[in-house]
Amino acid sequence: MFELDFGGVEKVAELAAVGFQVYPDIQMQFISLGKGGKVSDGLIAKGHQVWVMNQKGRIPDFGLIHQLYQYFRKEQFDVVHTVGAEANFHGLLAAALAGVSIRIGEEIGLPNHHIFYRILFRFTYQFAHQVICVSQAVKEHLNQIGELPLSKGKVLYNPVKLPEVKTKKESSGNQLVFITVSRLTTIKNIKSIILASGEIIHGTDFRPRLIIVGEGEERENLKSLVGENQIEEYVSFEGYQADVFNYLSQADVFVLPSYSEGSSLALAEAMHMELPSVVTKIGGASEILGDSASGTLIDPYSLQEIKDTMLGFLKMDSAERLKMGKRAKSQAAKFSKENYCKELLTLYKSIPV
């Protein structure tokens, strides 16, 4: 993968490392083309072999392909599984050159490639036996832009950690706690929640709180926006958290207003913690909700729609909100690490060698 610091992809790697422990005949290694960090340190501490290459990973980097080729030849892997654009391009080509028997790519989002990169990835995916797509929306998008035939795509939803649900506090009707957990980047559209919260606080009798968990380049801009809207008293920035469940247990509603979302690990974690949600309709996040009726889909480009939906939860009868949370938890049970690792191993074994 591209990095092993923090984020959704890295969480999946951690969960896979734990999930595959029930298969003692399987040995795993983790390779980060770029930097390491919290997740790589954790994997090493648990005895896993990790190679942090500290490369930029820009496509194309033929020197990086050569490094990976040499390493794959030396280690004689049975399976190489690459995750994300940079890892897919460099890793799949290197694995093919090294004669790795089973080559699996994985796309985690909805890429907006121009024609050159569409051609490049159409070429790259010829060297994969199968390409995992983290949602049906991702699979259909890759096919629509001409990068991947439908026959080569395999939908496999990300796993989530499913701890015991802690006792949740009950917030008063006009002071619900909204929470978002994500990288603080432009595409995650966190600013819309801040703006909607400001309009609600200054324009109504409701005083919702907002918890923002995550790190990213937009952190300071978002903090400035909170100040400009004079809602510092109601918004907290909690930074990166290895264990988000303590924060989820303090909240009442999860908010995911991304401009584009391939899937969402954070959403499934929130659902497991019995949180109803406000979810972007663009991409595959709605597939995590399924038909559970545990969330409301919104247009991330409509601040009015986001505000109205948050107000809807503030006005909602608490009993109905809690019922939505129970339905969310039931739906989230489908995304256990055990199910994920079983499906992944079945996929690996389905490839003729």
- Which H, E and C letters describe the chain, residue by residue? CCCCCCCHHHHHHHHHHHHHHHCCCCCCEEEECCCCCHHHHHHHHCCCEEEECCCCCCCCCHHHHHHHHHHHHHHCCCEEECCCHHHHHHHHHHHHHCCCCEEEEEECCCCCCCHHHHHHHHHHHHHCCEEEECCHHHHHHHHHCCCCCHHHEEECCCCECCCCCCCCCCCCCCCCEEEEECCCCHHHCHHHHHHHHHHHHHHCCCCCEEEEECCCCCHHHHHHHHHHCCCHHHEEEEECCCCCHHHHCCCCEEEECCCCECCCHHHHHHHHCCCCEEEECCECHHHHHCCCCCEEEECCCCHHHHHHHHHHHHHCCHHHHHHHHHHHHHHHHHHEHHHHHHHHHHHHHHCCC
Lowest mean pLDDT among 109-113, 160-164, 248-252, 290-294: 160-164
Identify whether residues 210 and 320 lie together within a single domain.
yes
Q: Has residue 298 got a pLDDT over 80?
A: yes
Q: What is the pLDDT at residue 353?
A: 85
pLDDT confidence of residue 171: 66
Average pLDDT for 44-71 = 96
pLDDT at 74: 98
As for how many domains the chain has, the answer is: 2
- 323 and 201 part of one domain: yes
Per-residue model confidence (pLDDT) at position 189: 98
Same domain membership, residue 341 and residue 325: no
CATH number, residue 103: 3.40.50.2000
pLDDT value, residue 194: 98
Residue 172 belongs to a domain: no
Q: Taking residues 121-131, what's their average pLDDT?
A: 98
Same domain, 110 and 150: yes
Mean pLDDT of 209-219: 96
pLDDT at res. 160: 87
Please indicate, yes or no, whether residues 96 and 223 belong to a single structural domain of this protein. Answer: no
| Residue-number span of the structural domain to which 233 is assigned | 177-334
- The predicted-structure confidence for 164-183, as pLDDT tens digits, reads as follows 776 666 665 568 999 999 99
pLDDT for res 175: 83
Do 123 and 13 share a domain, yes or no? yes
Please indicate, yes or no, whether residues 330 and 343 belong to a single structural domain of this protein. Answer: no
Residue range 103-120: average pLDDT? 94
* Residues 308 and 342 reside in one and the same domain: no
**Assigned domain for 133 exists:** yes
Tell whether 47 is covered by a domain. yes
Percent of the chain residues topping a pLDDT of 70 = 97
**Confidence label for 84 from pLDDT (cuts 50, 70 and 90):** very high
